[in-house]
A and B are shown apart, each in its own frame.
Chain A
Amino acid sequence: MSETSVSTEVAEAVVGGAGAPGAPAPRARRSRRSAEGGSRGGLAGLLGYLPVAFLLVFGGIPIVFSLLLMFGHLGGPNAAISELGQGEIPAHGIGTLGAITQLFENASYRQDIFATVMVFVVTAAVVLAIAALLTFWHRLRPSKPLAVLQFLAVIPLFIPVVIASFSLWTFWGDRGFTNSLAQLAGWSNGLIFSGRIQGVILAETWVSLPFAVLLLRAGVASLGDSSLDAGRDAGARPFTIARRIMLPQLRRECTVVFCFTAVGALGSFTVPYIVGPSSPVMLGVDAVNTYTAYNQPQQAAVIGFTIFVLAALIGCVYALGSRSRRVGRG
């Protein structure tokens, strides 16, 4: 029943309710039932709007304020934050691109963007490759070592990121385990990853792997035996089965893993802050530093917007990748 008809019936019930003289009794009962159903439906409808309201209040409105701040509108809702901020470029008229051009003219900011893109693309690719390798291989050639590896891959999920980051910073430092091993092998300072972009990629991979493995494991488990058996019967090697049969069927899962890992790495702060180099820094670190340490909220809004644009691009990849329909499920 549509909301309009519910409302009509409720109105009828109110106007010509059970107690109304001259109203037929059966219709009145029907109306009362409809009215109860209508109020329940209305409540359910309202509850349905709650997430939208939540998103609007905690996502949409702050984004609008942030955009206004970025274009130099320092009054109104941005008055308080602008009161303490430094280096602000106020709007004259519709707005100013001053803060945006100021940042993009800065070579160090362009390096930060490049480093960020590199980290999230490489991390997402590496995570997807490892997760696919572990789960596909285990499905095609089940073995205990692979099962153990899959289990181990999930463990980082239960370790707080800040603890993990500090541990990895120590582990990959010049007095850490990896470099000590390299020194023993006569390779001086050969395996230091702390304070380097490679370290950030490794740490992001470590942090993101559990979700990827869990998701792909579920996807692989849902594949039917028939298509895999058909491949085997036709004499296809495991790599060919994985590439020609499994991968096309799990394209959506793979897209989800790639995009979610990329978005996670793009917006991360703790890992690049602790493990990463002093320069270039990832945009998440840059945004926090600009807001708190440099006291420049307007420029921090520009960085936030840059992250938003990059996330939107990843969103486009997600939309394209998840459009495909799977076939051949058992």
Chain B
Amino acid sequence: MRHRRSAAALAVVGSVALSIGLGTGVGASVRPAARVHHTTSHKTKARYPRTLAGSFAFYSGGDTNVQQLWQDVLIPAFNRAYPNIHVNYVFDEHGTNDVATLARVAQAEKNHAASGYALLESATNAVELAARQGLFIPVTTKDIPNSVNVPSASMKVVNSDAVPYRGSKVVLAYNSATVKNPPKTLAQLLTWIQQNPGKFAYCSPSGGGSGSYFVQSVLNSYIPQSVQEQLAFTSNSSLESYWSKGLAELHKLNPDMYGGGNYPTGNTQVLTLLGSGAVQMATVWSDQGTQALQDGQLPKSIKLVDLTPPFAGSPVYLGIPKYTPKNQAILASAFLNFVLSVPQQAKVVKRLAGFPGIKVSVMTKTVQSEFGVLGDGQSLPYAATISSDLNRIWQQQVP
């Protein structure tokens, strides 16, 4: 399964987040982007010389395309820049060991000992959860100069204890051959679902973020903006009482969903249903949808669009566990800094058809054009712990 098995997640926010007045940045160190880029290159060389040597272990949970990104693109590029650093890449398909690995990190942190991994990425929301538990070394612009380009809200949701290196958002996919006037708002979408029973699908929230963010959009339509922001940035579970109306609405939609309330178990199954024509409309990840269109898995008649307001999006984070030996932490920081550089972020965007971890505005015009009609606007997803609760409550109340 692609990223976000457990929906969790936090925001790559960009312009939308800033427009709703969320966090203003990582302290006062945020500087104008154009100047930052120039300064960053200079700083990077000074901070991490090419002669750095050693090795560190990197646990990565994800799908095979993530594995290929690291093994075929980013790590070889890093090795060309730093020939004396060896990255011991440990891949875990679908992140089945994410929780166990993070438990190991938590135990090591408790014992003030090294966990064995100097860098972690998870396919689930485990890294965000761990960051909120304070298990990682705080990220500073001194250690990772290129993190200055990361949207401030993305850093805020993990208390600046991890950095995002890629992202994606959920969009509406529809078959333009059968749907001539696609919905433009959530209200229109819900009406369309009721008027076309069995033709819309979203996956169960615990199975994939594309379903989770649809659910969150419906719930948010009954929640004041201020509460939505709290659900995104805090773990205040008492706010979950605001979900009752949205959950009732989702439950009411059951007979109008695909298969009379048969929710696909993951993002991939939704794409299969869309590709086979079993459904005419569904929520999908923008990067997965774009890749499926490029690969021919989805017919050309399938179009991807944003609603107003857009569905949520989420970055994928990398964190350095506390008590990682200092020499390894330096190497991991050098690696993170390298990955967050504009040229490497451009490779991430191209390879995964997703969003960069850094602000889109600092990317080249060519890369910016890759986003096409979708743009980079997105809503805030719920915080990791709230999202886990949502998975459970949806399962108990909706199907």
Contact = CB atoms under 8 A, between A and B. Distances in A.
Contacts of B392: 290, 293-294, 296
B213 interface: no
Nearest to A192: B259
Nearest to A272: B265
A81 B278 contact: no
A306 interface: no
B206 interface: yes
Interface in A188-247: 192, 194-196
Interface stretch (B47-55, B96-104, B169-177): B96-104
Interface stretch (A12-20, A169-177, A259-267): A169-177
Contact of A292 (B5, B276, B395): B5
A291 B388 contact: no
A192 B262 CA distance: 11
A281 B262 CA distance: 12
B110 interface: yes
A176 B204 CA distance: 21
Interface in A282-330: 289-296
B107 A79 contact: yes
Nearest to A290: B392
Q: Is the interface of B mostly helix, strand, loop or mixed?
A: helix
A19 to B, nearest CB: 51
A87 to B, nearest CB: 8
A106 interface: yes
A83 B392 CA distance: 19
Interface residues of B, number: 39
Contacts of A281: 395
Contact of A273 (B7, B265, B277, B395): B265
B389 interface: yes
Nearest to A112: B395
B130 to A, nearest CB: 7
Interface string B85-120: 000000000000011001110110010000000000
Contacts of B110: 79-80, 83
Contacts of A184: none
A194 B262 contact: yes
A159 interface: no
B385 A195 contact: no
Nearest to B96: A292
A295 B7 CA distance: 12
Interface string A80-109: 110110110000000000000000001010
Contact of A169 (B99, B107, B269): B269
A293 B104 contact: no
B29 interface: no
Interface string B275-303: 01110000000000000000000000000
Contacts of B107: 79-80, 83
Interface in B1-24: 5-7
B277 to A, nearest CB: 6
Contacts of B102: 84
Contacts of A296: 388, 392
A5 interface: no
Nearest to B262: A195
Interface in B246-280: 259, 261-263, 265, 269, 272-273, 276-278
A57 to B, nearest CB: 16
B44 interface: no
B278 A83 contact: no
B261 to A, nearest CB: 7
A12 B262 CA distance: 76
B129 A278 contact: no
Contact of A170 (B106, B205, B207, B272): B272
A80 B111 CA distance: 10
A89 to B, nearest CB: 14
Given A169-B269, A278-B262, A292-B5, A108 B278 contact: no
A19 B256 CA distance: 93
Interface string B341-355: 000000000000000
Contacts of B130: 84
A80 B104 contact: yes
Given A291-B99, A294-B206, A279 B399 contact: yes
A169 B261 CA distance: 16
B99 A292 contact: yes
B199 to A, nearest CB: 11
Nearest to A276: B265
A279 B259 CA distance: 13
A185 B277 CA distance: 21
Contacts of B129: 84, 295
A169 B391 CA distance: 23
A277 interface: yes
A163 B388 CA distance: 28
A70 interface: no
A80 B269 contact: no
Interface in B101-148: 102-104, 106-107, 110, 124, 126, 129-130, 133
A83 B133 contact: yes
A274 interface: yes
A194 B272 CA distance: 13
B104 A289 contact: no
B396 interface: yes
Interface in A98-128: 106, 108
Given A289-B391, A292-B6, A296-B388, 18 more contacts: A84-B99, A86-B388, A108-B396, A170-B272, A173-B276, A173-B278, A175-B276, A194-B259, A195-B259, A273-B265, A274-B265, A278-B262, A291-B99, A293-B124, A293-B392, A294-B389, A294-B395, A296-B392
26 contacts: A83-B103, A83-B107, A83-B133, A84-B99, A84-B102, A84-B126, A84-B130, A84-B133, A86-B385, A169-B269, A170-B272, A170-B276, A173-B273, A175-B277, A192-B259, A194-B259, A194-B262, A274-B265, A278-B262, A278-B263, A279-B399, A289-B395, A291-B99, A292-B99, A293-B392, A295-B6
Interface of B: 5-7, 98-99, 102-104, 106-107, 110, 124, 126, 129-130, 133, 204-207, 259, 261-263, 265, 269, 272-273, 276-278, 385, 388-389, 391-392, 395-396, 399
- Shortest Cβ-Cβ A-B pairs, 6 listed: A195-B262, A293-B206, A80-B107, A279-B399, A278-B399, A294-B392
